[in-house]
Amino acid sequence: MPVTKTHAIVVAVTTAVGLTLSGCAKSETDSSAPTGAGPAASAAATQPSGQSTCTLAQTGYPKIDPKTAKIGFSQSEKEANPFRITETASIKAQAAALGIPSGNLLVTNAQSDLNKQISDIKSLLDQGVQALIVAPLNSDGLQPALDAAKAKQVPVITVDRKVTSQPCTDYLTFIGSDFVEQGRRAADQMIRVTGGQGKIAILLGSSGNNVTTDRTKGFKDRLAGTPGLTIVAEQTGDFDRSKGLSVMEQLLQSHPDITAVYAENDEMGIGAVNAIKGAGKKPGTDIKIVSVDGTHNAVQLIVDGSYNAVIESNPRFGPLAFQTLQQFQDGAAIPATVIISDDEYDETNAAAKAANSY
């Protein structure tokens, strides 16, 4: 992933962490079946330069021992898709690996309700958590919860979605993917699999978060240099498989000449596969499909020839989140953003790398 020169302070914070973690993800078709192990999210080799940093001394927060402290994890969405299942499993697995007593890790789920996530975080604070790991539902709207954490001098690490609040002031740091770069890489794959010719439909993620905005921007910016590819439709599927299916059905009716689909997550891409089949066309052949995530079913569809490429978005944040929290407590300068390294899958490697999917 091409990014700018490494900032010296960032290197100290993001030194390599153990990359083996049993990703106890569940299959999208069988919610009780594990999809296999995969590497934990690790900091990319290089990080954005010139960003601000945060130390324990700057915040004035009390020093804690993450291994004995009470930690809260606020999950944003119901665990009905592999990303959320694996993300929560990673936090729990790393807490267990560190020997954190099970009663010291408090986990909530906002069920895709922003007000509930605010309430969840405040409840965790009322229960005495001394640090928070938060997967924000939206980039905006969490300020009341962040203010409550700040008032109690509780550091907040955000993962997978960036909030618009201020690092080191309202929260400590964001750990996640470079979503713009994911969009660019998806466009590169789209250009490759289509030969640079075709009509594209974009299945957008949910509105109000930086993931959708950035994945769209990266894709469109990269595609701008390929005049043979035209975006003929884009519609929100809310990162949901059933919505991806219904939206794709509508788009195929209004734009029967669509030859490619960019889905901003695998769930919508899989929904599109079903819609394409329902329309009597062959996904992966008649209509090319590129998406972002790295779920087991999407990767298997590549192996089966019904999908073309997937850009990974690794949800196994547990090791890096706890490592960053420990480094903060040890006095290290924590960067405002920690970009992780993401892989990708296509017809050349999907079978060999299937065990890394979730």
**Contacts of 267 by beta carbon, 8 Å cutoff, 6+ apart:** 28, 81, 239, 240, 241, 244, 293, 295
Position with higher pLDDT, 42 vs 28: 42
pLDDT for residue 270 is more than 60 = yes
Nearest-angstrom CA–CA distance, 140 and 270: 28
pTM for this entry: 0.88
Q: Which two tokens stand for residue 142?
A: 């969490």
pLDDT at 80: 86
Nearest to 355 by CA among 3, 23, 143, 37: 37
Average pLDDT (173-194) is 98
pLDDT at 37: 72
Q: Mean pLDDT check: name the lowest of 22-26, 58-62, 128-132.
A: 22-26
What sign for the dihedral angle of Cα 189, 214, 314, 319? positive
pLDDT at 15: 36
Average pLDDT (106-129) is 98
